[in-house]
Amino acid sequence: MERTQWGLVGLIFVGGLLAAAQFGKISLVLPEVADVFGRPVTAVAILVSLVGIMGLILGPMAGGLAASFGVGRTFLAGLLLGGAMSLVQALGPPYWVFAASRGVEGLAHLALVVGGPPLMAAAARDADRPLVMGLWAVFFGASLAGSAQIFPWILGAGGLPLLFALHGLALLALAAVLWRRVPRGPMAPLSLNPVTIHREIYGAIRYMAPGLGFVCYTFLFIAAIAFLPEALARPALATVLPLVTLASTLAGGALCRRFAPHHVAAVGYAGTLLGALGVLIGLPFAVEAAFLSMGLIPGASFASIPAWNASAGDRARATGAIAQLGNLGTVSGTPVFAVAYTGGGLAALIWVIVGAAALGLMLVLWSGRRATGAGGGDLLDVR
């Protein structure tokens, strides 16, 4: 490709923002959701997790299906299905219907986050592809930051029904805009055998490596933001740290234009580790430095997908692995941090961060070296 299709890249990125809003439209307004259903917040919190649980269970399946069905068709299907579920929720259905719609919405979310990165990579020329993937890597944080500013206005104007309706209409409108712009690509034979799909994805290091570089980041990011501001008695960090990380995530993708993705991710993990130790000994701005370094990791992880996988189908499989492993980190990080903080306070949190960063450092260096073929031969089989 001679020129990057920046217009198409931007539209796909908007799809990513709307996919992340599938989490934000519940997590950021959980008290209002609890009031609507007349239940305590703790009883409706599962509505947030349902979308992530689908990714944890079905990530590789989604990657395999996208590789067979075509990433363009998969992305469009995610927009249409997600839009339909949001409109169902806007009608104010009973709780069980709403919960079921969230489960289906998890499938739509998977279709968007598995189809989006390969589509963006295909729309970029080689020189711009790492930067484009770094842009995709900020979709979740950017969406939540923007949603936190916009949602109060929407709730004031029309409550939850208006919020859900606008989200659904935005997804459907984007599907209409992209209908003729998204490449469909040929369809391949379809396998629905989960054992076969998992073996195919986790038996090839170039599919698995991006997810191995990502899992420790997702384990750390949300959980650390949830607990560190309170542990350090600095509540403003809850706003500052996500913004710091967003800025460096773009830089992580851009750096992959000159350096191997696993080397950039390794620098991110090393900086996270050192910053955490700096917090432990009381160095100023150490926590900000840790999160600035941490932001390099997702940009490098997503940049590694096209770096190690040439075809759209292979990129979809790698994105399926990153979806599952990323959700594994997100689901497990908060309870581990909660136990650590309850049992040992700030010091225990820091040592959890140090341990996870050290593990991430080892994983990215090992998997990156294998994926790039260091040591000779075609090292696609992890055995």
What does the pLDDT look like over 261-279, one tens digit per residue? 999 999 999 999 999 999 9
- Give the pLDDT score at 235: 86
- In the numeric block, which tokens belong to residue 195? 């054992």
CATH number for the domain running over 1-184: 1.20.1250.20
Structural domain boundaries in the chain = 1-184, 191-373
pLDDT in tens, 157-207: 999 999 999 999 999 999 999 998 888 777 766 666 778 777 878 888 999
Phi and psi based region of residue 115 (left: phi greater than 0; alpha: psi -120 to 50; beta: remaining): alpha
Task: Establish whether domains 1-184 and 191-373 are of one fold.
Answer: yes
Does position 376 have pLDDT exceeding 50, yes or no?
no
Tallying the residues shown for the chain, one arrives at 383
Q: What single letter denotes the amino acid at residue 357?
A: A
**So what's the pLDDT on residue 272?**
97
CB of 103 closer than 8 Å to CB of 54: yes
Using the predicted structure, report yes or no on whether residue 253 has a pLDDT greater than 60: yes
Whole-Å CA distances, 365 to 150, 213, 265, 267: 40, 9, 9, 10
pLDDT tens track for 133-159: 889 988 888 888 888 889 999 999 999
Q: Which residues are bridge partners to 204 per DSSP?
A: 381
Asked if residue 378 has pLDDT above 70, the reply is no
Q: What is the pLDDT of residues 315-366, one digit of tens each?
A: 888 988 898 898 888 888 888 988 998 888 999 999 999 999 999 999 999 9
Architecture of domain 191-373: Up-down Bundle (1.20)
Query: 377 pLDDT band (50/70/90 cuts)?
Result: very low
pLDDT score recorded for residue 46: 83
pLDDT (tens digit, 9 = 90+) per residue, 101-113?
999 999 999 999 8
